[in-house]
Amino acid sequence: MSLQITPSMLASDFANLAGEAARIPGADWLHMDVMDNHFVPNLTLGLPVIEALAKVARQPIDAHLMIQDPDRWAPAYVEAGAGSVTFHVEAAAAPIRLAREIRAKGARASMALKPATPIEPYEDMLTELDMVLIMTVEPGFGGQKFLDLCLPKIARARTLIDKHGGDIWLQVDGGVSLETIERCAEAGADVFVAGSAVFNADDPDAMVAELRAHAGHHIH
Ligand code: DX5
Ligand code: ZN
């Protein structure tokens, strides 16, 4: 398993994304939350902003698309420079075709599940994916409280991933902090999004290192 910390830029200063990325050199990826005010009740950023940041940031971009019609839009995020593109399965019309298209364009293909969406129906398509994202809050906003009820699903997802072999990452997103990251790691997550925990810290890069250390105790 590969322990990775992917800070969410949603909690950073949008007027200075390049500067904010430079404050977290220890981050493995920059998690970019794309919201369209339809799939979720919030509006953030899209292709032009990802393209601009991908050109200047040292870390690769992990694009989390909380949008309707990802079948139409997700491949363009690979062209914009994202190294990993996550679509929500609740919004995808043809998730297998979409995952294949993202991979064919050269990025890692990832599928996200909202807290009430079960993992079991997607067992047979895990081989089409490079990462599964289990949301631990309802998507739409940063700074929400971690939902403990998602922990059993993380554990079930880990079991299914191990059963099917392959090197599929298991990411958690929402309310991840020094207080909750160990529970996620223990349940089987290995990639951790953290927005407010990182950017509300006095030293965001030190927080990335601390989160990594906390999770590391539980990852083998
Ligand atoms: C929520 C986003 C998250 C968010 C996490 O819909 O997908 O990535 O930025 O923020 P925190 O870590 O503050 O919960
Ligand atoms: Zn996210």
pLDDT, tens only, 143-155: 999 999 999 999 9
92: Cβ–Cβ under 8 A, 6 or more apart, which residues?
A: 70, 71, 98, 111
| Ligand 1 center to 175 CA (angstroms) | 7
Point out the catalytic residue in the list 28, 33, 62, 130.
33
Res. 111 pLDDT band, cuts 50 70 90: very high
Q: Is the CB of 130 under 6 A from ligand 1?
A: no
Q: Is the CB of 188 under 6 A from ligand 1?
A: no
Is the model's pLDDT at 92 over the cut of 90? yes
Say if pTM beats, i.e. exceeds, 0.85.
Answer: yes
Q: Is the CB of 142 under 6 A from ligand 1?
A: yes
Mutate-to-test residue for ligand 1 from 133, 173, 180, highest number of ligand atoms within 8 A of CB:
173
Task: For residue 207, count CB atoms less than 10 angstroms from its CB and return exposed for 0-12, middle for 13-18, buried for 19 or more.
Answer: buried
Closest C-alpha among 164, 180, 158, 98 to residue 127: 164
Residue 147, number of CB atoms within 10 A of its CB: 16
Is the model's pLDDT at 166 over the cut of 90? no
Is the model's pLDDT at 220 over the cut of 70? no
Q: Is 33 an annotated catalytic residue? A: yes
Res. 73 pLDDT band, cuts 50 70 90: very high
Percent of the chain beyond pLDDT 70? 100
Is the model's pLDDT at 1 over the cut of 90? no
Is the model's pLDDT at 83 over the cut of 90? yes
Percent of the chain beyond pLDDT 90? 96
Mean pLDDT for the chain? Answer: 97
Point out the catalytic residue in the list 62, 130, 173, 190.
173
3-state secondary structure of 184: helix
Q: Is the CB of 46 under 6 A from ligand 1?
A: no
* Alpha helices by DSSP H, 174-203: 181-187, 196-199
Note the ligand closest to the C-alpha atom of 86. Answer: 2
pLDDT given at position 107:
99
Q: What is the pLDDT of residues 205-215, one digit of tens each?
A: 999 999 999 99
Measured at the CA of 77, the angle between CA 71 and CA 83, to 5 degrees, comes to 120
